[in-house]
Amino acid sequence: MKIVVVQGPNLNMLGVREQNIYGPMKLEQIHAQMKTFADENKFEIEFFQSNLEGELVDKIQECYGDADGIIINPAAYTHTSIAIRDAISAVGLPTVEVHISNIYRREEFRQKSMIAPVCASSIVGFGPFGYHLAMIGMTQILNEIRALRAQQAAAQKSAE
């Protein structure tokens, strides 16, 4: 099982930028915690961060056939990127959207997610812990998919 974590613009500045909103943790620390969870649960995890929309789209597309799920924090592109939304929709992988801050308590322009409608779930406002919640949620989603496929395969085998 492989999960790809896609991080959008300015997340490389976590721990430096607006600590009153995003807290003091650096992105590397968040990724280290996610890696520990992945190792403990015996699945592969890959991290990618870019400030460029096209690179984020490319990475999402690369997940097709290579990953089982995506955890994404599109950051500012959440509110503007139809391209990222379309890429998520195109690959058809379970995707969990994460936001460190509660976007619904922020400026009006941040309260609309273009991404959420094509995601399995959105986690907002839990700070860096939101990534841990996303990992738990993604694990559950992928286990349910695996169980359903096994059930379908068993039903098909008994029908033959």
Quote the CA–CA distance of 32 and 49 in Å, as a whole number. 14
Respond yes or no: is residue 22 known to be catalytic: yes
Q: Can you spell out the DSSP letters for 5-37? A: EEE-TTGGGTTTS-HHHH-S--HHHHHHHHHHH
Catalytic residue among 22, 77, 104, 131: 22
The dihedrals phi and psi of 90, each to the nearest 5 degrees, come to -65, -40
* Nearest residue to 48 (alpha-carbon basis) of 9, 94, 95: 9
Respond yes or no: is residue 99 known to be catalytic: yes
Catalytic residue among 99, 104, 131, 132: 99
The residues annotated as belonging to the active site are: 22, 99
